[in-house]
């Protein structure tokens, strides 16, 4: 048998800058959709790592606090916009471009296949 152990940290600076027009359009369409966690991943808090992690077959991804705040709200019911709204309430001091950051992170999460969208 073989084993693999994937660990990578998600950068704190996943921002929306530099997105193309098409992507921006795609992003605004996604706002009304509800992301859900890909069935290959399980999200939980790990005491020993002192952070949230995504667990998948034989591997683990450590999440930074902002990634965890977003992903713990991903439930297949709340839309992207609703997640942004919730975060603005939870973090009233967050910068104005919080929505952009959330959208950019969720795009990153989709590319990594951590989240999926049901059509």
List residues binding another protein (CB under 8 A).
Answer: 1-5, 39-40, 42, 44, 46-49, 53, 55-60
CB nearer another protein, residue 4 or residue 17: 4
The single-letter DSSP state of residue 3 is -
CB nearer another protein, residue 20 or residue 44: 44
Q: How far is the CB of 111 from another protein (least distance, A)?
A: 10
C-alpha 3/C-alpha 48 separation (Å) is 21
Q: How far is the CB of 94 from another protein (least distance, A)?
A: 30
Tell me how far CA of residue 8 lies from CA of 31, 43, 57, 60, in angstroms: 27, 15, 15, 8
Q: How far is the CB of 80 from another protein (least distance, A)?
A: 22
CB nearer another protein, residue 21 or residue 44: 44
Q: How far is the CB of 37 from another protein (least distance, A)?
A: 12
CB nearer another protein, residue 28 or residue 49: 49
At 52, give phi and psi (nearest 5°): -75, 150
Q: Please report, to the nearest 10 degrees, the dihedral formed by the alpha carbons of residues 99, 101, 107, 111 taken in order.
A: -160
- 67 in helix, strand or coil? helix
């Amino acid at each position: 048998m073989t084993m693999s152990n994937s660990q990578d940290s998600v950068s704190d600076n996943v921002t929306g800058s530099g997105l193309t027009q098409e992507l921006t359009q795609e992003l605004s369409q996604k706002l009304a959709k509800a992301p859900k966690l890909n069935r290959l991943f399980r999200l939980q808090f790990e005491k020993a790592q002192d952070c949230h992690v995504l667990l998948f077959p034989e591997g683990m991804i450590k999440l930074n606090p902002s990634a965890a705040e977003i992903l713990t709200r991903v439930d297949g019911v709340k839309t992207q916009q609703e997640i942004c709204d919730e975060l603005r309430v939870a973090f009233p001091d967050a910068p104005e471009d919080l929505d952009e950051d959330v959208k950019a992170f969720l795009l990153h999460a989709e590319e990594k296949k951590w989240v999926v969208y049901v059509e």
